[in-house]
Structure 1
Amino acid sequence: MAEVEVNGGLVVYEFVGPEDGEVVVLTPGGRFGKDFPGVRPLADALAAGGKRVLLWDRPNCGASDIQIFGRSESHMRAATLAGMLAELGTGPVAAFGGSGGARDSIVFAIEYPELVTRLAVWSIVGGTFSTMTLAMVYAMSELRTVRENGIEGILELPGQAGSWADLVRANPRNRDRLLAIGAGEFERVLTRWFDAFVPKPNEAIPGVPDWEFEGIRVPTLIIRGGERDFDHPKRTSYEVHCLIKGSRLIEPPWPEDAWEAARAAERRGEGSVFDPWVQAAAVLLDFIGGTAAGRS
């Protein structure tokens, strides 16, 4: 497991694929790390197409250190990715991401345009239902808990995979890091992060005003959301497509109900919500100029 220190915290990462391949940063969603099921098959497929895929545990994901700063959690991660790329000496990269990783990748492309050669995103969160869902998942419980039980309560807060307790189990340093942040600073930052998930009429995606999309000038591929994917609405794909000049919107390479079916399978203990992503390997390689396995 490789680590690099960025902004006062350790970030866990690894490369997959040939050392001389074009670097593609692959960012999953949720507070899920690089080893969450469904992520690596896509990374392996991109690597088989000649790309050098950078997988990373974003701050507050996997085994990386907890970090609490920035305008939003996605803006914090964009700053972390920029610092990590500088430390690793990769130069500009292609930024690929799905679900929360799509938002992180978009923010990265806006904030650090000099570090991005291409952008590809799918399963983009937007609209009232999915945005308010994230407010509850990522901030509301935390704010209630820290106000009632202090920072120690955050350490015991139950939740989905990727909870603060999970982050401490994966990386014991995180207990001391959270205690050092303290209840006051944690509440201040999480209040700011919570505001990013309050739906606003001028934000197609949470925490990013529409006008900021003007800063994305690189070739961009958008995979349309599923027909009844309420977590990643079809409409949001079109909105982002309209906001990024010259972007290309394509039909999903997976069934319209892929997200819902994958969630049902995950509840049965039979898979992961990210399992369909490997089906995008061919279109992503076409977009970036690679060769899918089995093709010449």
Structure 2
Amino acid sequence: MPSVEVNGGNVVYEILGDSGDLVVMTPGGRFGMDVPGLRPLADAVAAGGYRVLLWDRPNCGASDVQFYGQTESHMRAETLHGLLTALDLGPCVLAGGSGGARDSMLTAMLYPELVTKLVLWNIVGGVYGMFNLGSYYVLPSLQAVRAGGPAMLPRLREWRERIAANPDNEARLLGLDREQFVKLSLRWLNAYVPRPGQTIPGVEDEMFERIQVPTLIIRGGAKDLDHPKRVSLEVGCLIEGSQVVDPPWPEDAWEQAMEDRATGKIDRYNLFDTWVLAAPTILKFLDG
């Protein structure tokens, strides 16, 4: 896969399609572009006449691990800006689900000149969702480094996976400064403390005024605690003129996927298997 150096780290990417407007598609969590379910959606959008940029954000997939910025999403927004600038690909459509929705929104806020349209789904928020993010993505590494320094990081599964995908990441992890990593981790963790006036983690609601492009929001499921329906509706209120639509997958798709993941079943869904069902809705919005 080709890569571009951005802020001292290599960012791996792939472009699908030969012509048409560019759509940057970003998954959630710390998943890379090879996560099951993402590519079928990307292929469907590319087949609809668009080029699609897939990328491994810092700390995801085969890209270099990096640790800087106000929050991890701020770092990713800065990285995407650097990637698109280096490739001379903007302005473009930003599309993302779950954490990728947050990264896309923040990029549109900080770099509005790069964005023509915005497509969001599975937006994370609410007390459970924010606490879950902090406990899953920040606390394990913070606790490990406090206990034994950066040498403890490769013992954690998520960083072993990053090393397996990119062996250079081992030296990058081991070379981290203990005190600075703890300081940064506490700052990143602080973003996941629910606060009035912050519908999405670490971002003041007034920042949504900066999003002035047509926006499509596929709302979260009715009982989805990670991506609450209420949060999608609130973001829809904050982005003037945005369009909020019902999900094209079952209301309980995320709950089924989480249950399957916990029990080892494979007869229903991986986490993002249903995303391809959004292709017709997304293409209709992009073509409009």
Question: What TM-score range do you get, normalising by the shorter chain?
Answer: over 0.9
Letter in 1 for 2:126: G
Q: CA separation in 2, counterparts of 1:112 and 1:289?
A: 23
Q: CA separation in 2, counterparts of 1:115 and 1:30?
A: 23
Letter in 1 for 2:56: D
Q: Is the 8 A contact 2:142 2:185 kept in 1?
A: yes
Q: 1:190 aligns with which of 180, 185, 193?
A: 185
Gaps of 5+ in 2: none
Letter in 2 for 1:13: Y
Q: Is the 8 A contact 1:17 1:52 kept in 2?
A: yes
**1:264 CA drift (Å):** 2.6
Sequence identity percentage: 55
Q: CA separation in 1, counterparts of 2:31 and 2:16?
A: 18
Cα displacement string for residues 159-202 of structure 1 (whole angstroms, at most 9, x for unaligned residues): xxxx1121111111011111222212211111111111111111
Q: Is the 8 A contact 1:204 1:240 kept in 2?
A: yes
Cα displacement string for residues 16-56 of structure 1 (whole angstroms, at most 9, x for unaligned residues): 112x2110000000000000101000000001101100000
Q: Is the 8 A contact 2:126 2:194 kept in 1?
A: yes
What residue in structure 1 maps to residue 237 of structure 2? 242
What residue in structure 2 maps to residue 39 of structure 1? 38
Task: For 1:103-114, list aligned pairs within 5 A.
Answer: 103-114=102-113
Secondary structure of 1:55 counterpart:
strand
Secondary structure of 2:176 counterpart:
helix
What residue in structure 1 maps to residue 50 of structure 2? 51
Letter in 2 for 1:284: I
Task: Compute the TM-score of the two structures, normalised by the length of structure 2.
Answer: 0.97
What residue in structure 2 maps to residue 136 of structure 1? 135
Q: Is the 8 A contact 1:96 1:102 kept in 2?
A: yes
1:3 aligns with 2:17: no
What residue in structure 1 maps to residue 16 of structure 2? 16
Letter in 2 for 1:17: G
**1:260 CA drift (Å):** 1.1
* Structure 1 residue ranges (4+ consecutive) displaced by more than 3 angstroms after TM superposition: none
**1:138 CA drift (Å):** 0.9
Q: Is the 8 A contact 1:122 1:225 kept in 2?
A: yes
1:289 aligns with 2:287: yes
Q: CA separation in 1, counterparts of 2:51 and 2:259?
A: 32
Cα displacement string for residues 112-162 of structure 1 (whole angstroms, at most 9, x for unaligned residues): 00000000101000000010000100111221111111111112124xxxx
Q: Is the 8 A contact 1:262 1:276 kept in 2?
A: no
Q: 1:264 aligns with which of 259, 263, 266?
A: 259
Cα displacement string for residues 78-112 of structure 1 (whole angstroms, at most 9, x for unaligned residues): 00000000111112010000000000000000010
Moved more, 170-179 or 73-82: 170-179
Q: Is the 8 A contact 1:27 1:96 kept in 2?
A: yes
Secondary structure of 1:34 counterpart:
coil
Secondary structure of 1:120 counterpart:
strand
Secondary structure of 2:201 counterpart:
coil
What residue in structure 2 maps to residue 293 of structure 1? none
Q: Is the 8 A contact 1:129 1:231 kept in 2?
A: yes
Q: Is the 8 A contact 1:16 1:53 kept in 2?
A: yes
Q: Is the 8 A contact 1:97 1:122 kept in 2?
A: yes
What residue in structure 1 maps to residue 150 of structure 2? 151
The size of the alignment, in residue pairs, is 285
What residue in structure 2 maps to residue 230 of structure 1? 225
Letter in 2 for 1:120: V
Cα displacement string for residues 242-285 of structure 1 (whole angstroms, at most 9, x for unaligned residues): 11111111111111011112223334252420001000000000
